[in-house]
Amino acid sequence: MHRFLIKTISFVLMSCLLILAIALIPGYMVNKFSKFSVKKDNTIALFGHSHSECAYNDTLIPKLTNLSHSAESYFYTFQKVKKYLSQNPQITTVLIEFSNNQIDTKMDDWTWGYTYMSNMFPQYASFMSPADFELLAKHNSKYFMNCVGIAARTNFIKALSFNYDYTGKTGGYFKIEGSMLLPSNNPAGKNIKTPSNKSAISTTNIQYLRKIINYCNSMHKSVFLIRSPQHPLYEYRNNEAEFSLIRERYFSDIKFLDFNNFPLKNDDFADFGHLNFKGALKFSAYINQRIINGMLNTVSTASLSQLDNKTVSSN
């Protein structure tokens, strides 16, 4: 009986160690051998969610690589930023999309809601810290282990196939052909009423934006927050006062390039929050010219805001 018990315990321990090895070793290999490349001549990296994903056609902005990804919270952007900056020393400037909806609690669901976590976590789990794991487990313990299993399977397949190249798989410009039927008259400020619960703030998303900025600073990169155009009727524009307060309170040290009111027509929008390819064509050409004219040179935030207001007014 004693010998049987020892054999049983040994078998269980060996099984656990084997499972642990299958889960951890591929993750280690993915972290060690992963490849996040941008073109050697591209010195500007843009990160963000679908707003910037649809707004910046980087084929029209020669020095910029658009690495934005739809429905990506700053929690996952942080993991991506660490890899791109550490592997691409030619990147000297980082632009981070900062839009009204990115302070909203909707971002919490984008971080640990099962639909989003099961999609994003397997992609970036190998690059996370214990604190990152703890955050997800704390807020969604029910499905966290399920996502760990998905990540282990994903990493195992990557390791078996020696497929460690993330280039082109982590975001980029997304072209939208059409346009939703938008109101013919849309005076600025006449927004769709936002539901009352939209005033809640995602402290986690704000904290991870700060982590991104701090990491960029540690890598001696120039960092800018940037806001791409949003339709005057976009619902999240109703939190503008709170958005401005948060920006001033937590990110006053970072220059803010604000193109929220860049002049576009209804048929330049795919919907209230996203540009279609016509809008992206106009906006990207404008941004490229602004970069050529020195927009990313070191000047004061106030000067940038004044310059943007004058430019938009003249258009």
pLDDT tens for the chain, 315 residues long, are 566 556 555 444 444 334 444 456 888 899 899 999 999 999 999 999 999 999 999 999 999 999 999 999 999 999 999 999 999 999 999 999 999 999 999 999 999 999 999 999 999 999 999 999 999 999 999 999 999 999 999 998 999 899 999 999 999 999 999 877 666 544 443 444 444 444 689 999 999 999 999 999 999 999 999 999 999 999 999 999 999 999 999 999 999 999 999 999 999 999 999 999 999 999 999 999 999 999 998 654 444 444 454 444 333
Task: Identify which of 24, 62, 129, 69 has the alpha carbon closest to the alpha carbon of residue 288.
Answer: 62
Structural domain spans, the chain: 32-314
Contact 231, 257 (CB under 8 A): no
Q: Residue length, the chain?
A: 315
**pLDDT number for residue 81:** 98
**pLDDT number for residue 200:** 86
**pLDDT number for residue 8:** 52
**Strands lying side by side in the sheet with 64-66:** 64-66, 44-47, 93-97, 222-227, 255-258
30 alpha-carbon distance from chain centroid: 21
Strands, E assignment, the chain: 44-47, 64-66, 93-97, 222-227, 255-258
Rounded alpha-carbon distances, angstroms, from residue 144 to 17, 117, 141, 209: 21, 8, 5, 22
Q: Distance between CA atoms of 150 and 88, rounded to whole angstroms?
A: 29
Q: Distance between CA atoms of 228 and 284, rounded to whole angstroms?
A: 10
Task: Identify the residue whose tokens are 């990313």.
Answer: 296
Query: What DSSP character marks residue 169?
Result: S
Cβ neighbours of residue 62 closer than 8 Å, sequence gap 6 or more: 41, 42, 288
Q: Distance between CA atoms of 79 and 125, rounded to whole angstroms?
A: 8
Of all helices (H) and strands (E), which one includes residue 10?
helix 2-33
Q: Distance between CA atoms of 170 and 67, rounded to whole angstroms?
A: 7
Q: Does 32-314 carry CATH code 1.10.357.10?
A: no
Q: Tokens representing 249? A: 């309170």
Burial of residue 155 (CB within 10 Å: 0-12, 13-18, 19+) is buried
pTM of the model: 0.85
198 C-beta neighbours (distance < 10 Å), count: 17
Contact 49, 68 (CB under 8 A): yes
